[in-house]
Structure 1
Amino acid sequence: MLDSITTQTTTNQPVSEGVLALIELRAYAYDVLRRTFASEPSQEYLELMKNTIVQFPFASESEDILKGIKAVDSSLNRSSGLSRQDVDGLQWDYTRLFIGPDQLAAPPWESAYANEDKLLFQKETLEVRGAYLKHLFLPAQFQQEADDHIGLELDFMYQLCLELYEKAKSGESFQEVLEDQQSFLQQHLLKWVPRFGRDIINNSTTDFYKGMASILMGYLSLDLGAVEELLTVNSAN
């Protein structure tokens, strides 16, 4: 990802455009993913995805991302426009997978994958909350929705990308933000999302969510490598 990037090493001097571009692409990817899994899809969101999913970054570097893009694109572009029936079908699939009322096929909380009884608000939730509070990230539905919901965890990574970009652009040290992203990926997202993603693929009735699950799993795995590369570049300075 960082091929041919030359960084500037003087204190308080911005890093190279290549590094900033990589951070922007990471923020874009997390923005797409957080919007996908945080709430049921609106007509406007689906129209946007219909026209932009093929632009999801790093597809050439991940078979899972490329496969997911093809599935989502096929799902949304079967006809010239998205009908009300199409939107209703995707909203129902989201509800059935992640909300209920029946037993959830793919519970969207980290703690549900950490214990056999799939209990929520366990120690994993408190650990995630601690990571949020360090960066003053307070979910809008604090104490109403478990902090370890997939949409919130992805939103947290997105917010850290924005913080990272501002620090890098202004020449401030961004080592700690990168280390926190690395830790959050290793200790949280990558520990449970592979199982979560497989549950979606095995139980979804739409190619859209099967594809987005594939993109999610592929991207998180790839992003850990991106963070490690950025840490290497930063520490070399």
Structure 2
Amino acid sequence: MNDLDFYLVCRFYIYKSFYLLFLKPIRDSSIKSLSDEFVVRSCNGSGDKFKMERYADFLAEILKKAEDKDFLDKLEIEYTKLLIGPHKLIAPPWQSVYDGKDETLFTDCTLNVRAKYAKCGLKVTKYLSEADDHLAFELNFMLYLAGVINENAGRRYEAINDSVEFLDDNLLSWVNRFAELLGSCDGIYLKQAAFYLKEFLQNDRKFLNSILRA
């Protein structure tokens, strides 16, 4: 495996870890995936491109503490409070909230994201009840594209272009604000995860653009 292929594989597993963190609270079902040696090696072995070593340490500490059921319960309470409700959310996890002025869901922004998924033959399983521009779904789309980049040489550059476009038009248009708002909240892991996500997305964009310019 050459250096480029190595970094492309690393970014797949880093995206996978962030997707799992923001999809739902950390529970037994996700601990195994987050502890995967490929996630750990991807974070620690790609520091010159993605600078994820501190994120790897953070993740390892959280997962070690997650061996305790009471700690897992605290993680679930935090996720529910900050990303589900029932009270008004300080940092809503939907792009459309940040795209408009009235924090409305299921807007043209949501439909545009849905169209990008559909272009690749994808559809959110909960599309009738959960907006397509939820952070976890947008990360899952990047994860899907990362898989195409790694597994389909004929579509590699098309998928890289789609990834850069999605970062520019979607994730990077609102995740910085999302992370900033979460940063004002008390919590064990979500605000830290959002900070590392913001850093990773910015570095990933630089990395993908360097491939396109080569």
> Smaller-chain TM-score range?
0.7 to 0.9
RMSD of aligned C-alpha atoms? 2.2
Alpha carbons 1:139, 1:147 under 8 Å: kept: yes
Equivalent residue letter for 1:184: F
Give 5+ residue unaligned stretches, structure 2. Answer: none
Alignment-derived partner of residue 32 in structure 1: 17
Q: Distance in 1 between matches of 2:209 and 2:60?
A: 30
- Kept in 2, the 8 Å contact 1:107–1:196? The answer is yes
Task: Rate the CA distance shift 1:182–1:87 in 2: closer, same or farther, 3 A.
Answer: same
- 2:194 pairs with one of 210, 213, 224: 213
C-alpha deviation, 1:39, in angstroms:
1.4
TM-score w.r.t. the length of structure 1 is 0.80
Q: Looking at both structures, which has the greater relative contact order when contacts are Cα pairs under 8 Å and sequence separation is at least 6?
A: 1
Worse-matched range after superposition: 195-204 or 143-152: 195-204
With over 3 angstroms needed to count, the CA separation of the structure-2 counterparts of 1:21 and 1:62, relative to structure 1, is closer
1:95-138 CA distances to partner (integer Å, 9 max, x unpaired)? 01100001112211000111232110111111111111111111
For the structure 1 residues 17 and 112, does the alpha-carbon distance in structure 2 shift closer, same or farther, using more than 3 Å as the test? same
Asked whether the 8 Å contact 1:69–1:211 carries over to 2, the reply is no
- Residue 211 (structure 2) pairs with residue 230 (structure 1): yes
Equivalenced residues, count: 211
Alignment of 1:1-237 (within 5 A): 17-46=2-31, 49=34, 55=41, 56-57=43-44, 58-59=46-47, 65-77=52-64, 82-168=67-153, 172-206=154-188, 208-233=189-214
Percent identity over paired residues:
27
Q: Secondary structure at the match of 1:174?
A: helix
Deviations 1:192-225 (CA, angstroms, capped at 9, x unpaired): 001111222221411x223211210110000001
Larger Rg: 1
Stretch moving more, 144-153 or 195-204 = 195-204
Displacement after TM superposition at 1:22 (Å) = 1.8
In structure 1, distance between residues paired with 2:158 and 2:182:
33
Shift in Å, 1:48: 5.2
- Structure 1 unaligned blocks of 5 or more: 1-15
Structure with higher helix content: 2
TM-score normalised to structure 2 length: 0.88
Shift of 1:186: 0.4
